[in-house]
Structure 1
Amino acid sequence: MSKLHRIAMLWVEGPLSYLEQLCVKSFLDAGHEVTLYHYGEVTNVPKGAEMVHGDVILKRDDFISHGRTGSLALFSDVFRYHLLTKCDDTIWADTDAYCVKPFETQTGHYFGWESDSHINGGVLGLPKDSPALAGLLEMSHDEFGIPEWYSDGARAKLQAQIDAGTPVHVSELPWGIWGPAAVTHYLKKTGEDAHAFPVEVLYPVPFKRRRMIVRGGKRDAAMEFVTDKTTSIHLYGRRMRAFLLSRPGGLPDKGGLFEHLLEKHGIDPTAAPIVAKNLEPEVAD
C-alpha cells in the first residue's frame, strides 16, 4: 500500500515570492504535510506549512555556495541528503516544484529523469538504507574530492592539482556537480535508477520551453507536455523568476498557465512580488 509522504523544502531566509508560495501551497492543497526548513526569517509562507530551523538537519556553519554564482544550490544538495537520512516517510521537493497531484511511493524511492541523460534531484525520495544515498553523503564529506564519474583525463588533471597543493574546491566545479550529476551517477551505480520515473512524471515541460508556462498564448501548448502520469511541473525557479521580472509588472501573462495556477491556489502575486536582488532579468523573446 503506497502512502502519502511528508514534503520537505528549504528556503534559507527572506520572503517567498509568489512562485515559491504557489509551489508550497500546491503540496498542501494536494493533501501533503509540508515542512519548510529555514535558517533566517522567512515571510509570505502559506498557512499550514510547518516552519523548522535547518540546524536540526545541518548546521549553518556548513554552508557552501557556488564559486561563480554565489548560489546556495550546493548547500541545498547536501542538506537534502542529510535530511533523507534523518526523516522518515519524507520526500524532498525544491521550492520550484509544483505539485499536480499527490506523491505516492511504496518503496521510498521518488525521483525522475529530466532528460535522456540525467535524473534531477529537484524532487527526491530515497529510503534511509539506500546505497545511493550513502554514496551521496560520503561524496559530500570531501569538498575537494574528485568526482568518481569523471573521465580518466579529467580525474588526472584534478589529481595533479591536489598533488601540487592547489586542490579544486567543489564550488569551482561545474554547476550541478553535487546535484543532478551526482544523483544520476550514484543511482545508476547502485541500480536504483530502475525506480526513476520517465520525464513526463516530474519534469514534463523541458527547460528550453519553460517560458511557455508564463506566456498568455501558450497555456494549451504547455499543457500538451502534461499527461495523466504527471505529478509535478518543474518551474526552474531562478531562471523563471528572472523571466517573470522581464514581464510587465513582474507578473505572468494574462491567460497563461502560470496565472491559471495562481488563481487555482488563491495566490495573489502582487502580495509577494519577485525581488530583483541577485537576479538578471531574462530578455523576453
Structure 2
Amino acid sequence: MREYQIGMLWIDGSLSFLEQLCIKSFLDVGQHVRLYTYGPVTNVPEGVELRDAREVLPEEEILLHNRTGSPALHSDKFRVQMLAQEQDIIWADTDAYCVKPFTTENGHLHGWLAPHEINGGVLALPKDSPTLFDLIEYTKEPYRIPHWFPAKIRNPLIHDAMAGNPKHASDMPWGVWGPRALTWLLKQNNEARFSHPQEVLYPIGYKDRRLMSRPGANPNQFITDNTMSIHFYGRRMRAFIRYRFDGIPHPDSLIGKLVEKHGIDPRAAPILPIENTEEDVAQVEE
C-alpha cells in the first residue's frame, strides 16, 4: 500500500490540546505530518514538519468569512491547491483524529458525513480528478455563483449580480466552497462512487458530537473495524468544551481519555475564551 503524508493548515497562533491530540494521533501511528502556517504557531507536537503556507497560497489570498470571521473559506481553497501541487499527501483538518493510518488505493479519500453530504475534512483526490479541477476553478473566482446553492439562495445572488452588485464568496452563506461544493461536484463528475460510508471517516455524526465530550457517554458504539478517523467538529466542539468544561476535557469523556492515551496535557494548552461570547454560546446551544 502506498504511503501518504498528512497536510494540515493552521494560520497562526497557539494550538489547543484538541489540535495537539489530532496531530499526535497521526504521529503515533507512524504517519508524517506537515503543518502549513502563515505565522508563528506554538504548542506544536514534536515530530511535526512545519512549512510556510505561502509555498501553496500567498498570504494576500487569505479569505475570511465576513459574518463569522472564520478562515474556513481559505482552508477550502488551500486544501485543493495543496492536493494539486504536492505528491503523496492527504489533507486532514486539525480536528480529524487518526484511528489508523490514512491511505488510498485509487487516489480518492473522502466520505459521507450524512445521507446528503460528503465532507472534505479528510480529503484526497487524484491529480487528474475533474472534481479537483472544478474546485480549483471555483475557488479562483470568488464572485462566481455556485450551482450547488438552492434556488432560494442562488436567485437573489443572480439578481444582485445583474444589478451590478455581485456578492463575494466571503459575503455568501456559510460553507460556499465546503461540503456542499464537494458533494455536488463529486456527483456531477461521477466520483461520489469513491466516497466511503460514514463509519470510515465520520462515524460519530454531527448531531451526536457532544457525546465525545460528555463524561460517561459511550460514543464507541459508532466505531467499527473500518473506521479510519473520528471528526471532532472543531469550532463547535471547542465552544462546547470552553463553555461547559472551562476549556479542559472531562477525564471520563472520550476526548479526555484520548488526550491521556496520547500523552497530551490539556491544562498546558486549554481552549481559551474568545471575544465573541454571544457567538460562542450560540454554537453551544445550537
TM-score category by the smaller chain?
A: over 0.9
Match of 1:276 in 2: 273
Residue ranges of structure 2 left out of the alignment (5+ in a row): none
- Aligned residue number for residue 258 of structure 2: 261
* 3-state SS of 2:119 partner: strand
Counterparts of residues 188-203 of structure 1 (less than 5 Å)? 188-203=187-202
Residue 185 (structure 2) pairs with residue 186 (structure 1): yes
1:72-91 correspondence to structure 2 within 5 Å? 72-91=71-90
Distance 2:187 2:164 in 1: 32
User: Where does residue 216 of structure 1 map in the other structure?
Assistant: 215
User: RMSD of aligned C-alpha atoms?
Assistant: 1.6
Q: In the alignment, which residue of structure 1 is the partner of 2:26?
A: 27
List alignment gaps of at least 5 residues for structure 1. Answer: none
What's the offset of the Cα at 1:258? 0.8
2:130 alignment counterpart: 131
> TM-score, length-normalised on structure 2?
0.95
SS of alignment partner, residue 145 of structure 1: coil
Identify which of 215, 221, 225 aligns with 1:228: 225
Q: TM-score, normalised on structure 1?
A: 0.95
List per-residue Cα deviations over 1:134-165 (Å, max 9, x = no partner): 00011111111111233456444322211211
Structure 1 position 277, deviation (Å):
2.1
- Residue 254 of structure 1 and its aligned partner are, at CA, apart by 2.5
Q: CA deviation at 1:182?
A: 0.6
Amino acid at match of 1:257: L
State the identity %: 50
8 Å CA contact retained: 2:83, 2:127: yes
The SS at the match of 1:52 is strand
Q: Per-residue deviation at 1:206?
A: 1.2
Count of aligned pairs: 282
Deviation of 1:171 after TM superposition, in Å, equals: 1.5
Q: How far does residue 246 in structure 1 lie from its aligned partner after superposition?
A: 2.2
Structure 1 consecutive aligned stretches of length 4 or more whose deviation exceeds 4 Å: 151-154, 281-285
Q: Which amino acid letter does the alignment assign opposite residue 54 of structure 1?
A: A
Distance (whole Å) between structure 1 residues aligned to residue 265 and residue 32 of structure 2: 22
Report the Cα offset of residue 11 of structure 1: 0.3
Task: Give the structure 2 partner of residue 102 of structure 1.
Answer: 101
Three-state SS of the structure 2 residue aligned to 1:92 is: strand
Amino acid at match of 2:230: I
Distance 1:270 1:252 in 2: 9
